[in-house]
Structure 1
Amino acid sequence: MKYVLIPMILFSILNCSTPKKNDSINGYWMQEGYGVYLEISDSIYKMYDVTEMSCQPSASGSINNWSDSLSTLLDLYNISSVNSQSMVLEYGITSYKFNKLSAPLKRCDSPIIESTDPKLNFDVFWHTFKENYAYSKIRKVDWDMLYEENIPLITKETSQVELFGYIAEILDAIKDEHISLRVPDSISNAYLAIRVPPEQQENPSENLHKGNIPEKNVTYKDPRSKAMKRVMELFPETKFKSYHKDLIRWGKLNNSIGYIQINGFNGFSKEVVINDTLDHDDYWEKHWQLVFKAVEDGKTLGQYLRDEVSGMKRIKESILSEFSKSSGLIIDLRFNPGGTDKVALDFLSSFTKGEKKAFTKRVWNKGESSFESSVFIPESPREYDGQVVVLTSPQTGSSAETFVLASQQLPNFTLVGSNTMGIFSDVLQKRLPNGWNYGLSNEIYQTDSGENYEYTGIPPHHKIEYSRNWYHFHKSIIELTDSDPAIDLSLAILGKRLN
């Protein structure tokens, strides 16, 4: 999963020139498609999350405080352009456009700081999705109808548990893995205790399939980590190596074909050191605890992200040097739910020469597409020029899909597996007045030919029938006995091309 870092930094000490005096960055700015209002006065910023009816201090994941000195973020963003009407800021692979306002935004004179009012919270939630969610048409969501159905049920007496139920049911029915709603355990547990089971409802939500998880207390990580490991066990003669527990594994399947299993595009920083003897869940819980603590202790997000890219490049160069004489390579992304787009595209850059356009990104702004920018596979020394097969599944998501989408611009890449998950946008993070955090997709990824693979996923060149249910997919891999059909097919494809 990807999280959008709402850009507020207004100039960078690297790779950009200082704006002219008549192009001052001071003033009032509205960001296109993100529901963000920004006030800048000399070296101080104030950032707000806004809808047509609300204004709140920002809940952006890139900042610790909604108002602070710009110096805290000077190493994050570059100014691509700035004039008297607009400015474009760049971070990672993304460009963000801000339009200049002639006066302060009136509704932010008295922003909502905190409120448990049920109707106010529902209205903020509804307006945010109505104005910024990019895939209502594709996923067949009628926000006006949902408002008419739910708002009569919400009164001043509506409890927070009941409010959670109304919102959660709406979001569950959309079936978008990039939508999230995070509430205190006391709220979610209380709701689960009183909720009528779907099979007893007159019109149960379509996404609540009975029997999706046939065993109690099965979490996403349980079958996933076992499936990742099972692929290794099918090749007992191969001496696999690994980095950061099971983030990335690699080895030669035979004398001419290399294999790389990349299980995420986050977690590469070599600054985070943990004992590899811990089991999968404990290792990654400890990893992210250390990352969050470092940020809390003063490490900037810019430093963390540079560490991620640096760690990825270091291990990538080491792996590809081992495979330099291999005539074919299999990159397994079947268990990769995503991470950071920049990490994904920087990894891919070693397979092409020079900068190459990958796709475009547009933002959704109050019912229509808005600012568009082109995304490129960055220029990098080419470290591998052989034939490559990429393995995909319905659990290949987010920035792993960004990797797959961009790889289609490279003639030596072939896809084997099933359609990917179909969730591309960064996650736009927001917070309700009662403190609940939530996220949604507001960006549209498209190929030069106009293809948008949201919801359907990217189709493979050679299909393997995998279940789109996460549990059953991983279970099918765990239960493999003698061989892996996707790898067998990949070896056959590479064998034909090499002969």
Structure 2
Amino acid sequence: MWRSRGYGWLLSVTPEGLRLHHETAAGCYPDPASSAELMEMFGVREPGPSADVRDFLAGPGETRYRFDRLAALPARCDTPHVWSALELFDVFRATFAEHYASFPQRDPDWLARLDAQRSRVTPGMDGRALFTLFADALRSLNDAHVELIAGDADSDALTYEPRPTGTFAMLEQAAAATARPEREVQREWMRAYRDGILQTVLRGEGHHVGNQRALWGFAAPRVGYLNLLTMGGFVAGEEGKTPTLAQELAALEPVLDEALTTFAGANAVILDVSNNRGGYDAMARAVAERFTARPRRAYSKWATGAKDVPPQEFTLQPSSRPSFHGPVYVVTSDITVSAGEVLTLALRALPNVVHVGTATRGAFSDMLVKPLPNGWTVHLSNEHYADAQGQDHEARGLPPQRPLDVFNGEGMWHSHARAIRALADSLVPPEAKPTP
């Protein structure tokens, strides 16, 4: 039996496999995950500083979770229990109080305001009313990594997601102005984004590969261009099965090999993550390592409540695969989020990289997934990420070193392609420019 430092986990390691429980000041209850699913998170075990301390992790170099040995699982954790609405409120409250990392930046008075709502919770309160109370409380955090889901994704599930801001808010307004569904407008805008890259930036000579998640080619003479839309999803998964990190890396690496081999001798490369929706931190590091010539300390991270656990340092190692060590211009926007931000964070540690665009979303932390005792699931951000200088950019986002208005409200359908074209043209060396 092991208790995590931070994260609120109790992990049982038995001959039959792994079991997980969630522990808060308001109660303890089992996680529905199978042993096989838990092995994907805790399959590697390494010694800690003493015999009764052990580190569990998904794989070498991944997030390290420190656990302390327990004599036994607390008895209350496996006691059958019907959770009342008030008890569920207390577990929800305790989960955020014990693990949420960003109250100071996002809403310092959040817990006090939530406490004021406790009197509204009654023994017979129905699920929809309780869900609404929780969702209303979460809105003020406006954190891209905070979600609440009630029910099966295949049914009419109740869901809470943060409200659109920035570019997404402009798309929402465009949908309202034309009385069209927001998702339809977003899909149309995404098609315009991709078409702008392929036709305007790459002049019809680009590559659209990696399960349609990567676009690359030359944006101007001797100026390479690589756009990554996610930090995962590079391989189409089988129905009901999510591809593993190893499968994702196996799909991405040949794309990077071909692009960076082609860019050999280029004067500069534009790495565009202005529409990157996140994914795996490990993929972000694998990309960043293609652009460093020597080991570089990239960033560090630690979990809220992880007492006496030093920050975990992540260092980029030069890749043995095709790489580019010349000038790199990484482009971001307010859409760039999660592992897309971690990629930017890592790249900014390299002396050959210039950060261009607008500030990133400001949601770096891994999502801590907490199933509630009634079957609902809450996601929250519980980790702190710091750059090589020790600065935490959560909620604020990473500010660019060279501003570039990527998504202009007045011409959102075409502004990105125009901005990238202008950037690429500015990087063309004089000898490569056509003679007037």
The answer to whether TM tops 0.5 is yes
Moved more, 80-89 or 430-439: 80-89
Separation in structure 2 between the aligned mates of residue 167 and residue 208 of structure 1, nearest angstrom: 23
Separation in structure 1 between the aligned mates of residue 147 and residue 37 of structure 2, nearest angstrom: 30
Q: Is the 8 A contact 1:424 1:454 kept in 2?
A: yes
Q: Which amino acid aligns with 1:259?
A: Y
Q: What whole-Å deviation, never above 9, does each CA across 1:417-440 have from its counterpart, x for those lacking one?
A: 000010000101111222112200
Q: Is the 8 A contact 1:43 1:69 kept in 2?
A: no
SS at match of 1:311: helix
Moved more, 401-410 or 91-100: 91-100
Q: What whole-Å deviation, never above 9, does each CA across 1:350-387 have from its counterpart, x for those lacking one?
A: 11134321111010018x89542111224422621221
Q: Is the 8 A contact 1:238 1:251 kept in 2?
A: no
Q: Is the 8 A contact 1:389 1:414 kept in 2?
A: yes
Moved more, 84-93 or 239-248: 84-93
Separation in structure 1 between the aligned mates of residue 369 and residue 213 of structure 2, nearest angstrom: 25
Structure 1 residues 77 and 379: alpha-carbon distance in aligned structure 2, compared to 1, 3 A threshold: farther
Q: Which amino acid aligns with 1:448?
A: A
Separation in structure 2 between the aligned mates of residue 423 and residue 102 of structure 1, nearest angstrom: 37
Q: Say if 2:17 is the partner of 1:41.
A: no
Q: Which amino acid aligns with 2:254?
A: R
Q: CA deviation at 1:477?
A: 3.4
Picking from 160, 164, 170, the partner of 2:137 is: 170
**Map of 1:95-494 to 2, 5 A cutoff?**
95-110=64-79, 112=81, 115=83, 117-184=84-151, 186=156, 188=158, 211=173, 214=176, 215-219=179-183, 220-235=186-201, 237-269=203-235, 272=236, 287=237, 290=238, 292-294=239-241, 304-365=244-305, 371-381=310-320, 383-465=323-405, 476-480=411-415, 484-493=418-427
Moved more, 86-95 or 163-172: 86-95
**Map of 1:59-78 to 2, 5 A cutoff?**
59=32, 64-65=33-34, 76-78=43-45
Q: Which amino acid aligns with 1:125?
A: F
Q: CA deviation at 1:223?
A: 2.5
In angstroms, what is the RMSD of aligned CA positions?
3.2
Separation in structure 1 between the aligned mates of residue 101 and residue 308 of structure 2, nearest angstrom: 8
Structure 1 residues 401 and 68: alpha-carbon distance in aligned structure 2, compared to 1, 3 A threshold: closer
Separation in structure 1 between the aligned mates of residue 279 and residue 210 of structure 2, nearest angstrom: 15
SS at match of 2:336: coil
SS at match of 1:234: helix
Moved more, 310-319 or 393-402: 310-319
Structure 1 residues 498 and 151: alpha-carbon distance in aligned structure 2, compared to 1, 3 A threshold: farther
SS at match of 2:415: coil
Moved more, 99-108 or 306-315: 99-108
Q: What whole-Å deviation, never above 9, does each CA across 1:411-466 have from its counterpart, x for those lacking one?
A: 11111100001000010111122211220001100023221111110011111246
Q: CA deviation at 1:69?
A: 11
Q: Is the 8 A contact 1:228 1:335 kept in 2?
A: no
Q: Is the 8 A contact 2:100 2:382 kept in 1?
A: yes
Q: Which amino acid aligns with 1:123?
A: D
Q: Is the 8 A contact 1:141 1:174 kept in 2?
A: no
Separation in structure 2 between the aligned mates of residue 73 and residue 410 of structure 1, nearest angstrom: 31
Q: Is the 8 A contact 1:393 1:466 kept in 2?
A: yes
Q: What whole-Å deviation, never above 9, does each CA across 1:93-122 have from its counterpart, x for those lacking one?
A: 31111122344324314265x64x322222
TM-score by length of 2: 0.85
Q: Is the 8 A contact 1:346 1:378 kept in 2?
A: no
Separation in structure 1 between the aligned mates of residue 432 and residue 356 of structure 2, nearest angstrom: 17
**Map of 1:78-97 to 2, 5 A cutoff?**
78-79=45-46, 81=48, 83-91=50-58, 92-97=61-66
Separation in structure 2 between the aligned mates of residue 138 and residue 380 of structure 1, nearest angstrom: 36
Structure 1 residues 452 and 179: alpha-carbon distance in aligned structure 2, compared to 1, 3 A threshold: same
Q: Is the 8 A contact 2:100 2:380 kept in 1?
A: yes
- 1:56 corresponds to which residue? 29
Structure 1 residues 212 and 84: alpha-carbon distance in aligned structure 2, compared to 1, 3 A threshold: farther
Separation in structure 2 between the aligned mates of residue 310 and residue 41 of structure 1, nearest angstrom: 32
Unaligned stretches of 5+ residues in structure 1: 1-27, 192-197, 199-206, 273-286, 296-300
Identity of aligned residues (%): 24
Q: Which amino acid aligns with 2:2?
A: W
Q: CA deviation at 1:229?
A: 2.6
Equivalenced residue count is 416
Q: CA deviation at 1:222?
A: 4.2
- 1:204 corresponds to which residue? none
Q: CA deviation at 1:212?
A: 7.8
Separation in structure 2 between the aligned mates of residue 315 and residue 262 of structure 1, nearest angstrom: 11
Unaligned stretches of 5+ residues in structure 2: none
Q: Which amino acid aligns with 2:17?
A: I
Structure 1 residues 74 and 374: alpha-carbon distance in aligned structure 2, compared to 1, 3 A threshold: closer
Q: Which amino acid aligns with 1:183?
A: A
Structure 1 residues 392 and 52: alpha-carbon distance in aligned structure 2, compared to 1, 3 A threshold: same
SS at match of 1:451: coil
Q: CA deviation at 1:183?
A: 2.3
Q: CA deviation at 1:237?
A: 3.0
Q: Is the 8 A contact 2:62 2:282 kept in 1?
A: yes
Q: CA deviation at 1:156?
A: 1.7
- 1:283 corresponds to which residue? none
SS at match of 2:304: strand
